[in-house]
Structure 1
């Protein structure tokens, strides 16, 4: 049991470190030095990838603006409950069921990426700054 707690503590510390580094980048480095993460997919194809708008979404969430965060990339809000379900099933040893959820999330991500680049579903594209 003790070994498990040490391993859990290490994962929590690493996660907090990654989150802290991300917040430092988004709130200090990016605005000060105008360093932004370009999307290679959009640069090459001209289309929005399923992750386009995630940096702006994160900044909006840090400022407490959930509505604008949703407008930047609604996919994250749809995937969070499925990710929780996936992790719960995986932790209970239900590998086959968790795999179905994982494949479902992959399909949702691909469909979202295609739809947000069609005129009929242009409301899924990230809003402009």
Structure 2
């Protein structure tokens, strides 16, 4: 169990170091990762804006993170729970694969991302493009005292 925990912490540490190195590189150079799907098709994929979303989350700027990829922001709590469950299961049993229930949740998340990828390219949903802010849903509330 201790060996698996050490292995897991090493991998998570390497992932965190790579993420921080990317954040530092982006901060210094202003160069980010372009989306190959968007470059070829001109369409926004479900992952467009994820790098900038993660950089905003590192700064704890949740509003900016939401503007880069609201679809994935909605899924982050589910991904965190799934990741935590997999980590605990791996440390305890050596098995990290998803349970049947988790497979269903993962399937629903994939379906959501497919629909999100289509919808964010439809007319009237340009606010789902990376870096956009959503329209004000209830403008009349501003007039209330």
TM-score (norm 2): 0.73
Q: CA deviation at 1:86?
A: 4.2
Structure showing greater radius of gyration is 2
- Using the alignment, how far apart are the partners of 1:94 and 1:108 within structure 2? 19
2:101 aligns with: 97
**Which of residues 4, 9, 14 is equivalent to 1:7?**
4
Aligned pairs for 1:13-52 (under 5 A) are 13-27=10-24, 29-52=25-48
Cα RMSD (Å): 2.4
Distance 1:7 1:68, change over 3 A: same
CA-to-aligned-CA distance 1:63-118 (integer Å, 9 cap, x gap):
221111111111222112333454549x4x98322221111011011011111111
What runs of 5+ residues in structure 2 fail to find an aligned partner? 90-96, 133-145
Residue correspondences, number: 123
Q: CA deviation at 1:120?
A: 2.1
More helix by proportion, 1 or 2? 1
TM-score (norm 1): 0.81
